[in-house]
Amino acid sequence: MNQKLTEEKQRLILETATEEFGEKGLFRSSIRSIAKKSGVSVGVIYKYYADKEALFFACLDHSMESLSEVLSAAADEASSLEDMMRGLIHACIVYAREHEAYFRMYHSITSAESGADAGEIARRIESETAAVYTGVVKKAASKGLVDKNYDPAMIAFFFDNLLMMLHFSLSCDYYKNRMSIYLGDGVDEGLLEKQLLSFIMHGIAKRS
């Protein structure tokens, strides 16, 4: 029971911190404020996390894990390249409504502010995804669904780039505003989804 409370509290801390980090970034966020918002003492945070950065990375891991699950589910269900892409784009749009902060953490870590080893982090976060995407593209290529002039890895890279920008455009203030400049306020997400998928599929497709 006591243990249970602790686990819940841990999750609460993580969620609160993710929110704050996503909103203000690593430096403008403060441990005190996170503690207060979480209803715990500062000390207890230091019980679980060695320092502010450790908490930041724990939030990142937490976010990425959750994100990964959702994206994996979307990818796993898919029987074709197009299905996978549609699934990922859709999942991204749906997920963004609930968990802006997770996407924001993702953006946060791509910036230099934390001073962490970018290579290490990138490897931890991107390797799996990269392998999956590249694999699926390769498989599709072997079926002749991808123009043979393309390097499958590059196609996977372009696809992931577009997906990444979709993430940011749905969650981070700057990117949200930027999307509005292009598409106006109150973007039609259904249309966005459809046109993005179409753009990608045609970009990839074997030339007739």
**25 binding its own copies? (CB under 8 A):** yes
Question: Is position 136 an interface residue for its own copies (rule: CB under 8 A)?
Answer: no
Of 36-44, 57-65, 109-117, 179-187, which segment contacts DNA by CB under 7 A?
36-44
Contacting residues for 192 by C-beta, under 8 A, at least 6 apart: 93, 183
Rounded CA-CA distance 196/123 in Å is 27
Return the closest-CA partner of residue 128 out of 193, 76, 185: 76
Phi, psi of 39 (to 5 degrees): 70, 25
Which of 43, 119, 144, 186 touches its own copies by CB under 8 A?
119
Does residue 150 belong to the site contacting DNA (CB under 7 A)? no
Q: Does 56 bind its own copies (CB under 8 A)?
A: no
Residue 3 sits in the site that holds DNA (CB under 7 A): yes
The nearest distance, CB 128 to its own copies, in angstroms, is 10
Q: At what angle do helices 152-171 and 100-110 cross, to 10 degrees?
A: 120
Of these partners, DNA, its own copies, none, which one is at the site of residue 31 (CB under 5 to 8 Å by kind)? DNA
Least gap, CB of 53 to DNA (angstroms): 7
Among 16, 18, 22, 52, binds DNA (CB under 7 A): 52
Partner residues linked to 205 by β-bridges: 146
Q: For 112, what's the count of Cα atoms within 13 Å in the CB-facing half-sphere?
A: 0
The answer to whether residues 14 and 44 touch, using CB atoms and an 8 Å cutoff, is no
Burial (CB < 10 A; 0-12, 13-18, 19+), residue 3, is exposed
Nearer of residues 115 and 119 to DNA, judged by Cβ: 115
Closest CA to 187 of 168, 162, 170, 163: 170
Q: Which residues contact its own copies by CB under 8 A? A: 22-28, 104, 107-113, 115, 118-119, 121-123, 126-127, 130, 134, 147, 149-151, 153-158, 160-162, 164-166, 168-169, 172-179, 181-184, 191-192, 195-196, 198-200, 202-205, 207-208
Q: Which residues contact DNA by CB under 7 A? A: 1-6, 9, 28-32, 40-44, 46-47, 51-53
